[in-house]
Structure 1
Amino acid sequence: MENTTGIRITKRDYEFAIVAGLLIGFLILPVLKTVSPEIFAKFAIVIVPFFLLATPLGLRIAFMLGKKIAIIYQIAKFGLIGVLNTLVDFGVLALVTLLFSAYFQIQSKDALIAGITFYSLYKAISFIVANISSYFWNKYWTFDQGAKQQTKSEFLQFFAVSVIGFLINVFVASFVFKVVLGSLINLTDGQLGLIGAAFGSIAGLAWNFIGYKLWVFKK
């Protein structure tokens, strides 16, 4: 396929994709074990090798498509990092929950202050850690701004976009769950919640990509 956009795929891109795939593979294991122990028992051994191979292969396919439409390649990298940082969020949340429970006997539902539970604190911590991870991955790989001097204002801009993206995610997911899908009585609340979450994630990621590209990491 003729390259009409001038984009390139380098050894560094493959290295980043392999590292991301390796991390995704390991981070998804505890999530899968929690969601479906049966599937985990059957496929746990192949999860890491699968993502280790699938991520660079997927990146190559995105590059081939990006030869015609350049933004496809960048969106593919952004999506990959989005998956990784979602799992970082989940992983940190699970770890903090476990540590507070094991060492301080504090449970997620315990009250922290004024009706706010410790779960909110745990989620805030995991959100911040995931966004720090997201910042560096997107800066140095997705938007290739490694040569640009890092500033406090840049990170604050990134965090602001991410917070708005989070609010959009929650709003869209809640709207789809309550209004759009609320009448589908043949689905369980869990199934409806997952569908709503999918729509929320798509909306939030779309906002984040536009905000990062046009404001935070604009060239």
Structure 2
Amino acid sequence: MNKKDIFIGLVVGFVIGLLLIPTLGNISALQKIQALLGGSKSLLYVILLVALPIGAALGITVAGFIGRGAPVIWQIAKFGLVGVLNTALTFGVLNILIWTTGIDKGNGFAALNVIAFIIAVTNSYFWNKHWVFTGGRHQQAEQFVEFIIISVIAAGVVAGIGKVMTEYVSPVGGLNSVQWANVVTAIGVVFSMVWNFLGYKFIVFKKKD
């Protein structure tokens, strides 16, 4: 760990906070959180755009110290932060698309999920290659193909879950269709994070022998 890693934590934390704004706004959560904070919009934005980046940087710092004795902890921490960034990017793009198109179920929603996922995967490749999993064993072209294969499988599962659960399963817990679409996406994201970590670590970015 070095100063660059701490700076990355700050930047990534800030971007995550920024991306949470359209997501929370679209699911009608932004005003509720603001109400819990005494109606202070400025405090809400301080939490998202100042406290969150500082927390991310502190988390990376702690993981860096722990990772000196257990390198896998350091790698998991970096992957986790990138994973949160990708999740925020997925939800941010998805909710902007839902808001602009009005589509929140069925084949249309599955297509929106794929678009959001592709954007997040492109971001994911950059961060995983250059920060999380360094020193991979493959040439770039071969490595990228493997990355795409692993990611496309995850995207297919996420899109399938999205289609089935928004078209054939009614929202539960009093959620509206947009909130339910976000819950469904969250279920898919959990699967994709586990699948992608295993695939990236042991296939795509596997260390040279």
1:69-122 per-residue CA deviation (whole Å, 9 max, x = no partner) reads 210111011011111111111222233445xx4xxxxx44499xxx843x3332
What is the root-mean-square deviation in Å for CA atoms of aligned residues?
Answer: 3.5
Q: Separation in 1 of the partners of 2:113 and 2:162?
A: 17
Matched letter for residue 159 of structure 1: I
Q: Separation in 1 of the partners of 2:132 and 2:103?
A: 37
Give the number of the structure whose alpha-carbon radius of gyration is greater.
Answer: 1
Within-5 A mapping of 1:180-199 = 188=173, 190=175
1:128-183 per-residue CA deviation (whole Å, 9 max, x = no partner) reads 111000000111111124997532x3222112212333456678999xxxxxxxxx
Segments of structure 1 that go 5 or more residues without pairing to the other structure are 1-8, 102-106, 175-186
Paired residues of 1:173 and 1:198 also in contact (CA < 8 A): no
In structure 2, which of residues 33, 38, 51 is the aligned counterpart of residue 39 of structure 1?
Answer: 33
In structure 2, the residue corresponding to 1:144 is in which secondary structure?
coil
Matching of residue 208 in structure 1 with residue 196 in structure 2: yes
Segments of structure 2 that go 5 or more residues without pairing to the other structure are 35-40, 164-171
Match in the other structure for 1:158: 147
Q: Separation in 1 of the partners of 2:94 and 2:186?
A: 19
Matching of residue 132 in structure 1 with residue 101 in structure 2: no
Query: How far did residue 19 of structure 1 move?
Result: 1.4
Q: Separation in 2 of the partners of 1:166 and 1:79?
A: 18
Q: What's the % identity of the aligned pairs?
A: 35
Q: 1:88 to 1:195 in 2, by over 3 A?
A: closer
Q: Separation in 2 of the partners of 1:197 and 1:121?
A: 12
Q: 1:143 to 1:217 in 2, by over 3 A?
A: same
With structure 1 as the length reference, what TM-score do the two structures score? 0.70
Matched letter for residue 188 of structure 1: G
Within-5 A mapping of 1:6-21 = 9-21=1-13
Q: Separation in 1 of the partners of 2:50 and 2:104?
A: 39
Query: How far did residue 204 of structure 1 move?
Result: 2.9
> How many aligned residue pairs are there?
189
